[in-house]
Amino acid sequence: MERIVYDRMAALDTRHWWYRARREVLAALIARQIVLPADARVLEIGCGTGHNLAMLGRFGAVDAIEIDPVARGVASERLGRPVGSSPLPDLAGVPGGYALIAALDVVEHVADDRAALRAMADRLAPGGRMLITVPAHPWMWSAHDVVNHHHRRYTRATLTGAIADAGLRLDMLGWFNSLLFPLAAGARIAGRLRGKQDSDDTLPPAPINRLFERVFALERYAIGRFPLPPGVSLAAIISAGT
C-alpha cells in the first residue's frame, strides 16, 4: 500500500467507523462459525498497525505478520512482542500449528492468490480454519484500489474458484458491509466520474462517523446466522481438507 494509507491507518484505526464496526462484525462471525480449542494459537497475516490483534486475542494466543516496517513497529508495540515480516506467499520461517489464521483484506494484495492461500493452509493445525476477507465487485474498482495496491476485487465465483484451485475446502462464504453498500457504491462511482485520486479512508465528521459505525455494526447480529445481501466485502472460512 502507499505510505499514506499506513499513516492514516495508524492515526484512525481506533476511531474510524469502518475499523471499529468491522472488528465487531468479524468477532461475531468467528464466535458463531469457528470452534476453537481453549489453547488455540491464532495468526494474523498482514496485520497492518495491529488494530485487529486485541479482537483476535479473545480467541487465543495471537501471533502476527506485517511486511511494512513502520506498521510492523506499531503492531509490535500493541502486541507486546515482535511481529514477523515474512511475506505471502512464502511465509518463510513461519511455523505451523495455528487453529485460526486470519487474513483480513490481504489476499487481494498478493499477485498469486492461490499460492498465498496454500501457504496459509500449510500453517494450520489439524482441523484449523482460515478466515479471509476481500473487497468485492470488480465494477467498484476505483482510486481506493489503486492507492491500496490491490490486484483485484472478487466476485463470489472468483473467490470460490481461487479457493478450489488452491486445493482447499470452502466452509462458509458470505457478504458483509451490506447495509451501507448503496452509499459505498454511489461514492465509488461518483469518485470515478470526478477523477478522484485518493483512498476512501479519511475520517468523516463525528456525527456521520458514529452513524456509520452503528449501522455497519448492526451486521454483527446477522453474520454467521443467515446470509446478508450483497455488500462491499466478502468473508470466507476455509479448511485445509478438500
What confidence category does residue 227 fall into, taking pLDDT thresholds of 50, 70 and 90? very high
Q: What number of other Cβ atoms are within 10 A of residue 218's Cβ?
A: 14
Cell digits for 35? 470452534
Q: What is the pLDDT of residue 189?
A: 83
- Give tens-digit pLDDT for 56-66: 999 999 999 99
- Mean pLDDT within 35-50: 97
Q: Give the span between the Cα atoms of 65 and 43, in whole angstroms.
A: 8
Sheet with strand 41-45: strands edge to edge: 61-65, 41-45, 98-104, 124-135, 233-239, 169-176
- pLDDT of 176 > 60? The answer is yes
**Site of grid cell 492514516:** 8
Phi-psi region of 54 (alpha: psi -120 to 50; beta: other; left: phi over 0): alpha
Q: What is the pLDDT of residue 3?
A: 62
- pLDDT of 94 > 60? The answer is yes
- pLDDT of 21 > 70? The answer is yes
- Amino acid present at 98: Y
Mean of pLDDT over the chain: 94
Cell digits for 25? 462484525
Run of H or E including 31: helix 17-33
- pLDDT of 242 > 60? The answer is no
What confidence category does residue 11 fall into, taking pLDDT thresholds of 50, 70 and 90? confident
Q: What is the pLDDT of residue 188?
A: 83
Q: pTM for the whole thing?
A: 0.94
